[in-house]
Chains A and B, each alone.
Chain A
Amino acid sequence: MIRRIAAAALLLAAAAGRAGAQQGDSLKPYAIPASPAFTFLGTTPGKVERPVAARALALGLAQDVAASGGIPRGLALDVAPWSFVPGLRIPLRRYQTDPAAYALANTQLSVGTIQPQADTAGTDLAVGVRTTLFDRGDPMADTAYTSAVRKGLVQCQSAAGPTDPDSVVVACARRVTGQLRTRWREDHWNAASLAFAAAAGWRFPESQVTSSDWLGWAGWATAALPLFKGGQVLGQLRYDVQGANRHGLTYGGRAYLGTPSVNVFAEVTHDGVDTTGTPTSWAGGLELRVLQSFWLSTGVGTVARPDAGAKTVAVIANLRWDVSTLPRFGRLVP
């Protein structure tokens, strides 16, 4: 029976073609980026430096500046500002009881530089900040979860001195916490959360700090709320002010309700920088889990066709691999 359903789903998906492929990821462009500076620059660095001490950060920057003779290209930094403040401590108890400390601990500062395509001598630099004000889906904020982890980690401790290889201890800790975290997430997948991010950029025509041009800025916000016990409402927005070509508000919202194996969904997206004249799209329908982590999605919605200038209403169908117990569009905290 399951094979027949899967075969039917494959046929449906093939028939739907591009229209179906667009539906599942429709909100991703508006999601809060993990590192706003890199998203602003439109780059995904292969390696991101994450210093936690001011000395290491200053030393690394000084070396990069000295090596490049100006603003270094390819810089990719992601830091937690609280860890650079002398004397500031955010132990777990404070993280769980002090909302300001929670937000501070979940604030990330990102800095990135790239060579712009239009100016081979220049450098684009962006600075971004991202913070989560609250997230009921953060297991570290739950004392019951952290107590269970504490008890579980005891079994990973060495008995006869610090002689066990790191890899053995790490593997044990991952196994213990992985099981607890997975179970906890299954129970809190649709929890409420609120997060913001922003980034701004400058172009340095000769890669020197003496002159620069303003590139603009972008801001993101994401909020999620549980919809009864089996659903979630998710809203995401992005505002761009980047030169003459990209300026406007873009947003998306999605709601769905159901069980771990079937749900109904509705979503709307609005692309504020769309130039085709039809910036708003919507979709609604049914999602059915036909196999573990394998979903059939079908419904009605607007799609952009390659041969048409405007979006049209169409029946859509889609197959996608998914983790059924996680929010469709990923969590706010990675």
Chain B
Amino acid sequence: MDPTQPLQANVRIDSPQVVVYRLWYQRPGDAGWTLFANGTDQDSSGASGQTFTVGPLPAGSLIGYQFILSGNPVTALRVELTMAQGGVTLPEGALVLEGTTDDTGVAVRQGQVAP
């Protein structure tokens, strides 16, 4: 990641669930997380998804994500989170969250990545 350029985080929902999500960043030395993206499947279901810009962020920063999905029970889910700078996807910058909803139709995918 280039610490002099802003970071673009793109979210694309590919499966038939209601999705609400949030993205945060945490710089080295920060005590907590700072929210920079708040979206739903309504915003991010187009072919190009939805892009949020953040930073520039210093080296060693983290991106946190939380996706909450609700659909029919045991149905396939797929969400893509892609991080890029200057229109170029970063190495290891494409995160594909896959699986199935549980028997109540719910799935949660959350975690953090170092872009």
Contacts and interface: CB of A to CB of B under 8 A. Distances in A.
A128 B62 CA distance: 45
B16 A91 contact: yes
B18 A146 contact: yes
Contact of A174 (B65, B71, B106, B112): B106
A158 B108 CA distance: 12
B17 A92 contact: yes
A184 to B, nearest CB: 12
B22 A92 contact: no
Interface in A133-156: 138, 140, 146, 149-150, 153-154, 156
B68 to A, nearest CB: 5
A153 B18 contact: yes
Nearest to B71: A140
B52 to A, nearest CB: 15
The interface size bin for chain A is 35 or more
B70 A105 contact: no
B45 A92 contact: yes
Contact of B98 (A53, A157, A163): A53
Main secondary structure of the interface of A (DSSP, over half): helix
B16 A95 contact: yes
Interface string B41-70: 110010100000000000000001110101
B30 to A, nearest CB: 10
Given A53-B98, A160-B33, A83 B72 contact: no
Given A83-B78, A91-B41, A153-B70, A173 B108 contact: yes
B81 to A, nearest CB: 12
B3 interface: no
The interface size bin for chain B is 35 or more
A149 B70 contact: yes
B105 interface: yes
Given A89-B78, A157-B22, 12 more contacts: A52-B100, A92-B13, A92-B71, A93-B41, A149-B70, A156-B20, A157-B68, A162-B22, A162-B33, A170-B102, A173-B68, A174-B104
Interface of A: 50, 52-53, 80, 82-83, 89-95, 105, 138, 140, 146, 149-150, 153-154, 156-158, 160-164, 166, 169-170, 173-174, 176-178, 181, 333-334
Interface of B: 13-18, 20, 22, 24, 26, 32-33, 40-42, 45, 47, 64-66, 68, 70-78, 98-100, 102, 104-106, 108, 110-112
6 contacts: A83-B78, A92-B45, A164-B110, A169-B108, A170-B108, A333-B72
